[in-house]
Amino acid sequence: MSVKKNEKVSNNKNAKKDEDLSEEDLELQKRLTEYLEKLREGDVAAQKASLDGILYEIRSATASMTSVPKPLKFLRPEFESLKEIYDSPSLDASNRARLADIISVLATTREDPDLVALKFRLLGSTEGMIALGHDYIHQLSGEVVSETQRRRLAEPDANIDDLLQLVREIVPYFMSHTAEPEAVDLLLELDYLEILPPHVDKNSWDRTCLYLTSCSSYLPPSDGDAALRTAHRIYQNAKRSNDAMRVALRIGDRTLIEKTFTDCTDMIEKKQLCYLLARHSVSLDFQDMPFPISPAADLEDESAIEALAEEQRSALAAANSNTLLTKHFHNLARDLDVMDPKSPDDVYKLNSSGEFRGRDSESSRMVLASSFVNGFVNLGFGRDKLILPEGLKGDDGGSVGSGMEGNRWFNKHRDMGKMSAVACLGLICLWDVEGGMAHIDKYLYNLDKDIVAGALLALGVLNSNVRHENDPAYALLVDRVAVSQPLESRIAACLGLGLSYAGSARQEILDLLHPLLRDPTWSVGAAAALALGMVFVGEPNELIVSSILGILVEPSAADMVKPVLKQYCLGLGLLFLGKREAVEPVLEVVRPCVSDSISKFVELVLESCANAGTGDVLVIQRLLSVCGEGSETAKAEKGSAAGGGGGVGGSETLSGGASSSSSSSSSSSSSSSSLASSASSASSPPPPPSSSSASAPAATTNVNKPPPASSSPSSASAPSVSSSASSSSSSSSSADAAAAAAAAAAATFHRTAAILGISLVAGGETLGIQMASRLLEHLLRYGDVTVRRTVPLAYALLYTSNPEISIIDLLTRLTHEPDFTVARAAVLALGIVGAGTNNARLANFLRGLCAPGSDSARDGSDRLTFVARVALGLIHIGKGLVTLSPFHTDNQLMSRVAMTGLLVILLCSDEILTTAAGSQHYLLTSLALAARPRMLLTVDEQGEPIPVTVRVGQGVDVAAQAGRPRAVTGTQTHSTPVLLAHGERAELATPQYTSVSPILEGVVILTKNPDYVE
């Protein structure tokens, strides 16, 4: 009964469906039924007519987005019978191919895992596929990919020529029907991108290249490089030189960059390319470069032609060397009326009574903080109120000096503080080589060696990212690295050369600094290594790599103090910045040859630098696994806390600041012994491998072994009194615990590189930044003290000059941590995150942090106050007209030189006590490499400013979106020059001018629109 009931219900449904069909549908169904009946007959002519009729009905059918075409809907129940007809011997070859086409189309309406549509497509005819519709082509392309993967999995060298023939038909269809992303995806899956450029026309090149460049970040290295090179080829074919240069810079191929520039034949476009190359710190040699002469010039005299070519070379060299940057920056400042110099008191915000709201301290550390704040806030303006002498005239003819000579201000500092204070003069005169030299030159002949060293470093800062034709930096610094010079001058000269010629890969610098890598004083060798890393950033010079590796593989490298070791490692890592696979041979050498105590750190620095800005998820996973490794750090902390210590590595905390005098004296004795042994080893030359192998184990043992009890002050003075004996025992156990904690911290300090590496790899890409932020939040919550001390710096690298509210709130909470090392890192991170934004919320918070009664006031050494004031100066750097972000050109390009400046601070200054707020505070001047105006300045062909109306708003990612959506939203109208915040874009508001550059950022050349009518 049930079977009959079901049959009855089914018949009722079919009858109801037939009643719902219109007369037109019934007629179509009847025709298709007749075609099928004729197919079953043996007449070849009738079969051909029936197949042609079915194909005509399918091709002419129209389908909505929610329904299947009526012919396919009526033929779907006959799918199996059509396959039986195909297998019958009554069909000839031509009719069998036509029937295969019909079965292939009909298979797209079914869920079939056997790729039936592709199978019968390959068996069908070789024409007419395009007329079957977009849905069929889309389904077919997916099955082509699946079949290719299946064949290659079974046999890597499998023949797929039959599939590629289909692809050659599918790609033109996609490209002509605004389905460029689908065509790119198909070719990427098949590694067949080389056929794409011929099918791109003027209507599709922009969408195609935008998708290629956008998806390259999510592809494996080889596929991503292929996608970028395909986009470059398309841009070149379309005569889009600026877009092609942007892709070439992203690839990082020097030969491709020079070829792209040479292939450009328009002089105005060449000049715009020079501005882009200057922003990316890439210098070109224009001496032997040919220059096309316009036919309109009508020059017959060869001397006149050569004179015109020389004039063109000079104009391009000026744009490429950044010698015009000061002029453009001051034009922006005048337009915004911020040319008047500011003093640190203006930043600190004096109240009505003339008293600073924070701590009123005249300690040397606070004076040094004022020097840095003064240098940062007046960066690039060439005038200030503290250092430059009285009588410097402004634009209005009035004096802008304060009456205090530079020497009087410098003499308020102590020792290396004078070096940093004079070096800040380079920040004030940044980019203005000729004007700055007049102020710095007189300090080169001062009797104070620290002031001379500061002047040498100021020379390097002054010439950062500028290539002057007279090359003054090399001429003045070349003799200062000699052994006969004072130690401070040698270090400053090495760093000055690195800052002056960062990214230039000059052979003269290599010849000069390479012998210093094995200098008897390790600090000089480390400065030389760091300088060579700056100069050859992204250029793996074999001589430098082998020399630094030779030093690190020696057993004596384990005796280096941390700042020295990190500078050697960073110098090595910078050589491979962004080079990805090129670092693999070096990693193979590092793993087995370098001492276990430093091999992990070296390996992580190399891997992180090599994948900088790539967003490689696999690399991030490896770095994250290192951050989560189990260690004995927590046990060491507990032991140190039980013995009265102040935390791992001797850092002070709010709760542990009142430890007993005996434990503190013992701890200081232990740390001083360790520092003394490190200093003695640093002052001696690294022994050669043959002579050091025997003494290395003993040296390593002495470094890691806790000091003997006899060296403790308590035990040395212990008589037979029982209380003294008890004190001696307690002090000895405290020293042992502190030494164990320090040893545990030394064994895990490589995780600093892993945490910063996560931000370094993930930066520059929106999804990568969001992912890395969540990872850092988990590390902050569950990580040990070593991890927590580095996470704020990782946030700074991830959100440089991008003060998002959630990140500000998180770092603000961390400034109140009991561990002052975490608090100082968070304060420095706040300064870098808000750098150049004049963020009022951040500035007010940092001013309050320096006020009496705050956490910084309970830091007896005033180090937190020092960092807070420096961070305050960073927020107002360049009076809010400058950014430190290494990403530019709509965040598509990462400047390796700018990233170098940030890494020097964050990697070499993660332990704030010993670097940024200690003896190596002069490293803060390396931020000059990252400082650039965050402006849009429009100029004419001669380089003169043109005020035009632009719309500025938040940028929107329009890759693979349908139609022509706007790339800017929430716009406001301004007149150039204007400031651009992080993530903002600009577009011309009127068609009066056309932009030579497709991206309005930095210096942009405008040309008059000949079709414009007012």
- What is the per-residue pLDDT across 330-360, written as a single tens digit (0 to 9) for each? 999 999 999 999 989 889 875 544 444 434 4
What's the average model confidence in pLDDT over 39-63?
81
**How far is Cα 265 from Cα 274, in angstroms, rounded to an integer?**
14
User: Residue holding tokens 């890598």?
Assistant: 517
Question: Residue 290: what pLDDT?
Answer: 66
Question: Residue 3: what pLDDT?
Answer: 45
Question: Which of 400-409, 544-553, 887-896, 968-977 is the least confident region?
Answer: 400-409
What's the average model confidence in pLDDT over 422-435?
93
What's the average model confidence in pLDDT over 397-402?
42
SS3 content of the chain, % helix, strand, coil (to 5): 65, 5, 30
**Cα–Cα distances in angstroms (integers) from residue 556 to residues 129, 533, 551, 687, in the given order:** 71, 22, 8, 7
Sheet-wide strand order for 935-939: 978-979, 935-939, 1002-1008, 993-995
Question: 690: number of CA atoms within 13 Å, CB side?
Answer: 0
pLDDT band of residue 57 (cuts 50, 70, 90) is confident
Residue with more model confidence, 385 or 665:
385
pLDDT band of residue 287 (cuts 50, 70, 90) is confident
**238-253 in b/e burial notation, b at 16+ Cβ within 10 A?**
bebbbbbbbbbbbbbb
What's the average model confidence in pLDDT over 110-139?
81
**How far is Cα 325 from Cα 334, in angstroms, rounded to an integer?**
14
Question: Residue 389: what pLDDT?
Answer: 58
Are 146 and 112 within 8 A, CB to CB?
A: no
Per cent of the chain over pLDDT 70 is: 79
Question: Residue 721: what pLDDT?
Answer: 36
| Closest C-alpha among 839, 814, 838 to residue 912 | 814
Element (H, E) at 994: strand 993-995
pLDDT band of residue 672 (cuts 50, 70, 90) is very low
Question: 924: number of CA atoms within 13 Å, CB side?
Answer: 35
The radius of gyration of the chain from alpha carbons, rounded to an integer in Å, stands at 35
Give Dmax (Cα) for the chain. 124
Question: Residue 635: what pLDDT?
Answer: 44
Q: Is the pLDDT of residue 680 over 80?
A: no
Within 179-220, where are the H helices? 180-190, 205-215
**How far is Cα 551 from Cα 564, in angstroms, rounded to an integer?**
12
Residue with more model confidence, 209 or 24:
209
Q: Is the pTM of this model over 0.75?
A: yes
Question: Residue 724: what pLDDT?
Answer: 44
